[in-house]
């Protein structure tokens, strides 16, 4: 049998990121600490190069390669562009934070690039095997990133919890994949979809495999009741790592759910629809209620993430193209807001001081009116205040589930959004109406960081006033 080489053109962005991550790893060994900016520059250059390659080879129609394990389509390319952008901003925000703590080392950027590679594989996975490989590459990078500060017992504890619980979730996912393979005889998502359409609910092995897959996916998303790791990891990890975990991987997780549930197991929609209703309702309720009781802002944003994941799942469980577009729009908007929120936390932190408590934001308006304004816009957008992009994101998701008759679930989402607005407004109150317990040092930012955080915060306002521009891009990505 003759070996036919696969078409490598669609995977050029992945090959570039892989090559550059290995190159950065080798070059960093020979650099002195004062030359570490070269590592940072190469990491940013890698993301720019990958974005250019993705744009040049942007998919006009779906193409599969690598023996059916990889698919290049418009949804995948669009999500990858947002992953590059989010990661580039994360690297920029983290630079000064890492320098102040003597953590400005090549490992952060190398692991960050390998994490991006894992996300890219997840986004373009066309088989359960490539899904698992991408997910594990991302997960292993995140486990190591959490313990970047090796002298911190809190970070070590968080990394251990993340690793143990993540291993259990990976085992569940792998068990589900093995059951799907046993029932269909293939790991190719198209073959699985065809087999599931024929066998449907008549095959109990398929249904049980689906349950294990949903459990594994729920853990990766941080949905209740598989959320136990998320608050501890967000709080225990260095803020630069929390910023990374809380942003781009959410885009890859959305793609993972779409690839497995919608494309591979769409014929079992009645089954996973019911499971996602329970997961989304619990996530919205518990996420908002638990966030009310937090005094640590990183834990508060962790529980906030759980509630946002609930809204993301609402769009997917609707089972309609409008719902999928709403969920993708919501994910992109959430990443934009999360990057901004954790970015401000990083900018308030300084050597020997972590701005982790809500009380640390007291009097921010007196110290830096512009940063306080940007944080206020981000908090109000997360709360779903009208005329900001977070409001429109929630609106389109709720509209999608109302259209399929789940009015009670929409009412639940609205109710807990109103309850959840309290903890966002508490941060705004601290910044504008409370006086700091001790005078803080003036906040100094580099020019590029100041431009990035300003653009980040203003995008929340601009997209809130003109959301259809981004929504049209999302719809075109899902329809092609």
The overall average pLDDT reported for the chain is 88
Rounded (10°) CA dihedral 411, 417, 422, 425? -140
What's the pTM? Answer: 0.94
pLDDT per residue as tens digits for the range 382-404:
998 888 999 999 999 999 999 98
The predicted pLDDT at position 127 comes to 92
pLDDT digits (tens, 9 = 90+) for 17-71: 999 999 999 998 888 878 888 899 999 999 999 999 999 988 778 888 888 889 8
Q: Which residue has the higher pLDDT, 434 or 232?
A: 232
SS (H, E, C) the chain: CCCCCCCCHHHHHHHHHHHHHHHHHHHHHCCCHHHCHHHHHHHHHHHHHHHHHHHHCCCCCCEEECCCCEEECHHHHHHHHHHHHHHHHHHHHHHHHHHHCCCCCHHHHHHHHHHHHHHHHHHCECEHHHHHHHHHHHHHHHHHHHCCCCCCHHHHHHHHHHHHHHHHHHHHHHHHHHHHHHHHCCCEHHHHHHHHHHHHHHCHHHHHHHHHHHHHHHHHHCCCCCCCHHHHHHHHCCHHHHHHHCCHHHHHHHHHHHHHHHHHCHHHHHHHHHHHHHHHHHHHHHHHHHHHCCCEHHHHHHHHHHHHHHHHHHHHHCCCHHHHHHHHHHHHHHHHHHHHHHHHHHHHCECCECCCEHHHHCCHHHHCHHHHHHHHHHHHHHHCCCCCHHHHHHHHHHHHHHCCCCHHHHHHHHHHHHHHHHHHHHHHHHHHHCCCCCCCCCCCCCHHHHHHHHHHHHHHHHHHHCCHHHHHHHHHHHHC
Tokens matching residue 381: 């957008």
Q: Average pLDDT for residues 358-377, to the nearest whole number?
A: 87
Buried b (16+ CB within 10 A) or exposed e, 387-424: ebbbbbbbebbbebbeeeebeebbebbeebbebbbebb
* Residue boundaries of the structural domains of the chain: 9-479
Question: Which is more confidently placed, 435 or 157?
Answer: 157
Residue 480: band (very low, low, confident or very high) from pLDDT cuts 50, 70, 90: low
How far is 406 from 314, CA to CA, in rounded Å? 10
């Amino acid at each position: 049998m003759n070996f036919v080489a696969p078409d490598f053109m669609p995977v050029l962005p992945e090959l570039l990121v892989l090559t550059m991550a290995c190159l950065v790893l080798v070059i960093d060994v020979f650099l002195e600490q004062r030359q570490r900016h070269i590592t940072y520059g190469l990491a940013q250059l890698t993301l720019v190069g990958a974005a250019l390659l993705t744009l040049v080879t942007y998919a006009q129609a779906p193409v599969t390669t690598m023996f059916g394990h990889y698919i290049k389509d418009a949804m995948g390319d669009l999500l990858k562009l947002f992953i590059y952008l989010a990661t580039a901003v994360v690297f920029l925000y983290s630079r000064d934070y890492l320098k102040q703590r003597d953590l400005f080392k090549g490992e952060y950027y190398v692991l960050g690039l390998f994490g991006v590679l894992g996300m890219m594989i997840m986004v373009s996975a066309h088989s359960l095997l490539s899904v698992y490989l991408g997910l594990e590459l991302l997960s292993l990078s995140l486990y190591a990133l959490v313990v970047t500060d090796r002298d911190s017992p809190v970070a070590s504890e968080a990394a251990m919890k993340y690793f143990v619980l993540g291993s259990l979730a990976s085992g569940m996912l792998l068990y589900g994949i093995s059951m799907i393979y046993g029932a269909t005889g293939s790991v190719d998502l198209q073959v699985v979809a065809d087999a599931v359409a024929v066998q449907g609910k008549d095959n109990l092995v398929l249904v049980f495999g689906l349950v294990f897959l949903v459990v594994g996916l729920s853990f990766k998303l941080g949905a209740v009741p598989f959320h136990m790791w998320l608050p501890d990891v967000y709080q225990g990890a260095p803020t630069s790592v929390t910023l990374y975990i809380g942003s781009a991987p959410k885009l890859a997780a959305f793609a993972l759910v779409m690839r497995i549930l919608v494309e591979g197991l769409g014929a079992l929609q009645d089954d996973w629809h019911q499971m996602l209703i329970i997961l989304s309702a619990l996530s919205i309720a518990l996420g908002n209620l638990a966030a009310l009781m937090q005094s640590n802002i990183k834990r508060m944003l962790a529980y906030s993430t759980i509630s946002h994941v609930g809204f993301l799942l609402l769009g997917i469980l609707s089972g309609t193209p409008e719902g999928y577009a709403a969920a993708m729009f919501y994910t992109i908007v959430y990443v934009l807001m999360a990057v901004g929120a954790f970015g401000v936390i990083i900018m308030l932190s300084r050597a020997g001081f972590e701005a982790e408590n809500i009380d640390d934001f007291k009097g921010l308006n007196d110290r830096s009116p512009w940063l306080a304004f940007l944080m206020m816009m981000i908090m109000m957008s997360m709360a779903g205040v009208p005329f900001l992009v977070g409001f429109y994101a929630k609106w389109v998701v709720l509209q999608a589930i109302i259209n399929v008759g789940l009015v009670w679930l929409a009412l639940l989402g609205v109710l807990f959004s109103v309850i959840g607005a309290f903890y966002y407004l508490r941060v705004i109150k601290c910044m504008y109406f409370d006086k700091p317990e001790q005078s803080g040092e003036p906040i100094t930012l580099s020019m590029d960081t100041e431009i990035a955080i300003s653009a980040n915060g203003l995008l929340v306002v601009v997209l809130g006033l003109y959301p259809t521009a981004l929504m049209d891009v999302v719809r075109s990505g899902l329809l092609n």
